[in-house]
Chains A and B, each alone.
Chain A
Amino acid sequence: MALLRVDNMTHYFGGLRAVHNYSLILEPGHIVGLIGPNGAGKTTIFNLISGIHTPTEGNIELEGHNLIGHHPHEIASMGLGRTFQNLLLWRHMTVLEHVKMACYSQLEYGIWGAFFGSRFCHQEEKRLTAKAMHLLETFDVAHFSSQLAVSLPYGAQRRVEMARAMATNPKVLFLDEPTAGMTPDELNRMISIIRKIHEEFDVAIFLIEHRLKFVMELCERIQTLVFGEVIAEGSPEETQNNPHVIEAYLGSEDIH
């Protein structure tokens, strides 16, 4: 059974058809890429699956559970972690607090425990701190743990965001342009980090990316999206040589 399954999803923003008849099957442990020119609707697809928008038509299932109509936080706690294209970090929170925050749905103590600072609440906080520190070490940002996340260098901010997404215990991880604005060095580092997550945490990854090198190296399957429709789907080599993809990216040659 597929881990994540999207069937014939269509979405309209008013009169604009942003996504048309989109389908996806993500098997456990696979890495699938989504590429396409600007404005093709890639991030919209992410937002639709993670519950920020509700699709006009179609069906989304995670491990057989229907996701339509659920709040984003419910979908996230069901096992769908994500990062954002423009790094939505919290301005006044430290790196450690970021990662602990993402464990919100795993908090065992109730609101009264938080009010009265019960012993159980303190134990839970300690447990979460240990878990968060472990994750921060995995992503090589543990030494920043008490700093404000927004004050870190860009690459470190990206890694903090990924650590935060991993703290939600995801089964599927959505990465929205994980290398946007990175130098080639940082790019290579990101590739190895994503490989590491993939192996260590056994998650399926679905990622949006522009850099072909990155996609070619990581993904097993690539979907190409143009104007909300998938025009090609296949292995990296197939995609690279597909005339439709080349046309979408480079434009067609007019021969008279």
Chain B
Amino acid sequence: MDIQDHTSQLHKKGFRARLQGFVATVPLIGWFLGFLGAVLVEYLLGDLISYYLYLPKIPVLFGLLSVLKKPLLIPGTIAYLILVYGLPILIIVKTLQKQANKLAGFLDKRPVSVAAFVHLGLFYGALHLWADMSDYRLLVLKLTMIAVMLTLSINVINGYMGEFSCSHPGFMALGAYTASTITLLFFANDKQFGDALLPETFGLYFFPLALIAGGIAAAIGALVIAIPSFRTRGDYLAIISLAFLFIVKSLIENLEFLGGPRGMSSQPHYSTLPMVFTVMVLCIWIINNFVRSTMGKALNAVRDNELAAEAMTVNTRKTKIITFMFGAFWAGVAGGLFAHVLRYVNPGSFGIQRLAEILAMVYFGGLNSVTGSIVGAVSINILSEALRPLEIYKWIIIPLLLILVMLFRPTGLIAFTEFKPKELMKPRQQFVEE
């Protein structure tokens, strides 16, 4: 009996070790190929498979939603996930392991931009196809990408510089309203601003400019917090930033030409998936460049010891202004995208609730880490969508999860790491050149 236990344990360990070994030898591009394959399977056979598994339709969000509504669908959904995602990914990854590694090795010798372009193109293709199958998926995907931007930008202030800023929804609102005003004024016929001033066909090309304008508006708003931050830190700055959030919110509520508490609606449909994806990639790339440079490391120096930073020639005031404006800029851009995804904004959507969501994402994912921000934003966002059927209990489960994370990993899941795209895209297996 004893011996049997022992051998089975050994076997288990061997299997796990083998699985881990296998996973470690698959490059990123292999996983992307696998994902693309799985999505293709779902695209072509999804309806058929779900019909034979007695599922009412394709499980939209990996079945998380429908399972909570109708627990009877659990076995069917699991079978579906295995058939459509698990097996194809495993098969493709296994068969293409060698080729994928060779491809990764080939790309590794090219400039990083080329490799990144290929990876992102592949990933985007898969995502596009995946989102094409349902409007709900598309919406969740866009909102998740916007959440990634928000989380990353607040991480610059709260994580990298260590100030507790609560004004992110305020920055977002500034960006959302500025961008919406521009697009509504120039490119849309609506009841607030009347007829479009420019031909509507220009709209999509000018949209990035509207986003940048939104970002700049938010960055200018951030000065209101950056300047007091020279003299105060910690709790007091948190209160100032919270006050800023309320100022922005009540300002918008009382400005009649922005629609007051009723908000603004019928923004043109500019936040397409490629647009949101491109802006998100730009955001990740620029923020990651910044925080990895010595100039960006100055944020850490200011956080860990401001006095020492000053004595080591770091211009702390400039650093603080840059950080707040930079973080706010991306929050503003994300706000502009957000307004054009929902095509409706009102002051109510930029309140304490939104702040709680953003803070949950950044502290869940991990401070001072780009990877952590992405993980936090994606997991909290998907979770909060998936738990939607539970209604009010959702707001018990997510905070509970946060408490657990804080207990076991006080700085978040993946904190204090560097995000190195080049390392990520490297081949995981070396072949001797013949």
Contacts and interface: CB of A to CB of B under 8 A. Distances in A.
Contact of B305 (A88, A100, A103): A88
A116 B295 CA distance: 12
Interface in A83-102: 84, 88-93, 97, 100-102
A72 interface: yes
22 contacts: A52-B307, A73-B314, A73-B316, A76-B312, A88-B307, A89-B304, A89-B308, A92-B300, A92-B304, A100-B294, A100-B297, A101-B294, A101-B298, A101-B301, A102-B312, A104-B313, A105-B313, A109-B293, A111-B322, A121-B293, A125-B294, A167-B312
B6 to A, nearest CB: 39
Contact of B295 (A72, A114, A167): A114
Nearest to A84: B308
Interface size bracket, A side = 35 or more
Interface in B173-230: none
Contacts, number: 105
B322 to A, nearest CB: 6
B376 to A, nearest CB: 18
B311 A50 contact: yes
Given A93-B304, A114-B295, 5 more contacts: A82-B311, A93-B297, A101-B298, A101-B301, A107-B294
B295 A90 contact: no
A77 B318 CA distance: 15
B289 A90 contact: no
A69 interface: no
A179 interface: no
A116 B286 contact: yes
Nearest to B368: A92
What interface size band does chain B fall in?
20 to 34
Interface of A: 50, 52, 71-73, 76-77, 81-82, 84, 88-93, 97, 100-107, 109, 111, 114-117, 121, 125, 128, 164-165, 167-168
A111 B304 contact: no
Given A90-B300, A104-B313, A104-B314, A115 B305 contact: no
Nearest to B416: A92
A92 B308 CA distance: 14
A90 B299 CA distance: 11
Contacts of A116: 286, 289
B315 interface: yes
B22 interface: no
B294 A115 contact: no
B310 interface: yes
B297 to A, nearest CB: 6
A128 B300 CA distance: 18
3 closest Cβ pairs, A-B complex: A88-B308, A90-B304, A105-B313
B304 A117 contact: no
A90 B290 contact: no
A78 to B, nearest CB: 9
Given A76-B310, A90-B305, A93-B297, A114 B315 contact: no
B30 interface: no
Nearest to A117: B289
B319 to A, nearest CB: 9
A164 B301 CA distance: 12
B304 A91 contact: yes
A73 B313 contact: yes
Contacts of A102: 312-313
B289, B290, B293, B322, most chain A CB atoms within 10 A: B293
Contacts of B314: 73, 101, 104
Interface in B269-295: 285-286, 289-290, 293-295
Contacts of B304: 89-93
B430 to A, nearest CB: 23
Contacts of A93: 297, 300-301, 304
Nearest to B286: A115
Nearest to A76: B313
Contacts of B296: 114
Contacts of B312: 73, 76, 101-102, 104, 164-165, 167-168
B313 A168 contact: yes
A115 B173 CA distance: 24
Nearest to A129: B294
Contacts of A106: 313
B122 to A, nearest CB: 22
A107 B297 contact: no
B367 to A, nearest CB: 10
A90 B310 contact: no
Nearest to B315: A73
B330 to A, nearest CB: 11
A97 B311 CA distance: 15
Nearest to B160: A92
B315 A104 contact: yes
A128 B294 CA distance: 9
B36 to A, nearest CB: 28
Contacts of B290: 114-115
Nearest to B292: A117
Contacts of A92: 300, 303-304, 368, 416
Nearest to B316: A73
